Chains A and B, each alone.
Chain A
Amino acid sequence: MDYIDPHIHMVSRTTDDYETLARMGCVAMSEPAFWAGFDRGSVESFRDYFRQLTQFEPKRAAQFGIQHYTWLCINAKEAENVSLSREIIAMIPEFLSESNVLGIGEIGLNKNTKNESTIFLEHVDLAVRYGQQILIHTPHLEDKFQGTKMILDMLVSDSRVDRSRVLVDHVEEHTIQEVLDRGFWAGMTLYPVTKCTPARAADMIEKYGTERLMANSAGDWGPSKPTAIPDLIMELKRRGHSRDLIRRVVYENPCKFFSQSKNFKALPASS
């Protein structure tokens, strides 16, 4: 079954992974800017990273017939450095006209600090001023509940934010309902140990339905599984759910959400 992975960090993956994903049915993906595993020292380092995301990765993906999209920002972890963050936010508009940019992301919180919140608000302002969609990272483990609520507070208090153009990622059992109830899109991340298993993601689909809900692998340089979406497809099939329902979650919903960005191109008819 054709599918879209709305959150995967391909700069950390090999070309063999692109080939495997293509074989498994991945036809498009979106790659939010994130943390490299170490803190980068200068705005130039981010400029090169954004060139990689907007110029190099789409070509690598295209070799396997996969459309590659991206989101730009300084991630929450490095946002602790406020002055560097501001230099990067000022530089991002240079890249917003690149043809695979869908918006600003993944912005959010990590340890839910004041500096992270300050930079989050400045990213939201950037997105609004440039008419960009937003992709949100919510924190891990014990910080997730608090951080998700703080993020929703900040988004809701800015009346310029169009909630139907914001995707809140890494939702779990204790955060999904508020995200959906407030009119945002929600993404479930299938990630070993620290996030959500395919079975628990299937449970959330059964409980909340498919509207504004998607799943992603968040495959990156750490323990993660880039082919996690096919695992979810298998789990839903095993439980006897219809092809239409599965397709809505893994294909139509990402298309619908991404289509709100002028850079998203129609995909070839899917199988």
Chain B
Amino acid sequence: MMSNDPKPAARDAQKILTEEFFIARSKILDLAATLDRLDRANGSVDQLQQRKLLQQGMEILLDDQPDKAKRVQLLMSRPYDPDWRKNYGLH
């Protein structure tokens, strides 16, 4: 079903970049500092699922595909099984 309400007009990319540069910069720094903190700490987390998810999430940010927020969300989601009702014995 498609929307009947008009979508808002697209915004200007350069304007968005100017407005959001410092916000994005600060988020990259936060992420960098979290990775540094893990490095300095005792023990290794490289084999843990959560660490791998962060790695895969960062790879989504760097690839050349669109819908990054949606793909990060899906990466962090449990899989859906279309047969779930049968498995639960629910009809």
Residues of A within 8 A of B6 (CB): 209
Contact with B along A204-216 (1 / 0, CB 8 A): 0111111110000
On chain A, the number of residues with a Cβ less than 8 Å from chain B's Cβ atoms is 37
A181 interfacial contact with B, CB 8 Å: yes
Tell me the interface secondary structure of chain B in the complex: loop
Whether A208 contacts B3 in the complex (CB less than 8 A), given A146-B78, A172-B73, comes out as: yes
Residues of B within 8 A of A141 (CB): 76
Q: Which of A23-31, A56-64, A220-228, A238-246 lies at the binding interface?
A: A238-246
B74 interfacial contact with A, CB 8 Å: yes
- Is A211 in contact with B77, judged by CB distance below 8 angstroms? no
A180 interfacial contact with B, CB 8 Å: yes
Other-chain residue from A143, A146, A180 in contact with B3 (beta carbon distance below 8 A): A180
Instruction: Write the chain B residue with the least CB distance to A239.
Output: B11
Q: Which of B32-40, B54-62, B79-87 lies at the binding interface?
A: B79-87
Residues of B within 8 A of A212 (CB): 3
User: How far in angstroms is the closest Cβ of chain B from A163?
Assistant: 9
- Is A209 in contact with B5, judged by CB distance below 8 angstroms? yes
Residues of A within 8 A of B84 (CB): 150, 153
User: How far in angstroms is the closest Cβ of chain B from A139?
Assistant: 9
Q: Which of A12-20, A70-78, A91-99, A113-121 lies at the binding interface?
A: A113-121
Q: What are 25 sample pairs from A and B whose C-beta atoms fall under 8 A apart?
A: A112-B78, A114-B90, A117-B85, A142-B76, A145-B73, A146-B77, A146-B80, A149-B80, A153-B84, A153-B85, A172-B73, A173-B69, A173-B73, A182-B1, A183-B1, A203-B69, A206-B8, A206-B11, A209-B8, A210-B3, A210-B5, A211-B5, A212-B3, A239-B11, A248-B5
Could you tell me which A residues sit within 8 Å of B by CB distance?
A: 112, 114, 117-118, 121, 141-146, 149-150, 153, 172-174, 180-183, 200, 203, 205-212, 239-242, 245, 248
Could you tell me which B residues sit within 8 Å of A by CB distance?
A: 1, 3-8, 10-11, 67, 69-70, 73-74, 76-82, 84-85, 88-90
Beyond the given pairs A142-B76, A145-B80, A209-B7, 20 more chain A to chain B contacts, judged by CB atoms under 8 angstroms and listed by A's residue number, are: A114-B88, A114-B89, A114-B90, A117-B85, A117-B90, A141-B76, A142-B77, A145-B74, A145-B78, A150-B80, A153-B84, A173-B70, A174-B73, A205-B8, A206-B7, A206-B10, A208-B7, A209-B6, A242-B8, A248-B5
